[in-house]
Amino acid sequence: MKVQRDGQIDVNLSLKLPVTIVEYAQDHLQDKANVKRLNNQLSEIMTQDAEKIIRTLQQSGCDAFGIGRHLIAYYPAVWKRVNWEKEYPNVRIHPQVTVTIVGNGILN
């Protein structure tokens, strides 16, 4: 979390997801280039999904990530001067989801 000089609050959320892919034999997940490509594609898709979910949470006034609690603990002066219910929807939350394929299986 970072509070800018103008009072704008920026939050970087990082999530690492180890996944197991169930594949068809023709997907060739033994090829490291394909695994890297899929990791990147899935990371991008999941990051976009996270952005949509965060927007919905903010519009609903739901601080599910505890950003307000973090603000109270580390930026008490900022917390005292903001109306959190009004400010929370304006917080810039930047999610970054990193997917790593850790295993795969074969479907016949």
Report the chain's mean pLDDT, rounded to a whole number.
90
Q: What is the pLDDT of residue 50?
A: 97
Could you give all domains of the chain from N- to C-terminal order, each with its CATH number? 2-107 (3.30.300.210)
| CB of 104 closer than 8 Å to CB of 29 | yes
Whether this prediction's pTM lies above 0.85 is answered by: no
| CB of 61 closer than 8 Å to CB of 91 | no
Q: Give CA–CA dist 101/28, Å, rounded.
A: 13
Q: Give CA–CA dist 22/20, Å, rounded.
A: 7
Give the pLDDT confidence of 82-101 residue by residue, as tens digits: 999 999 999 999 999 999 98
Q: Give CA–CA dist 14/68, Å, rounded.
A: 17
**Residue 61 burial (CB count, 10 A):** 11
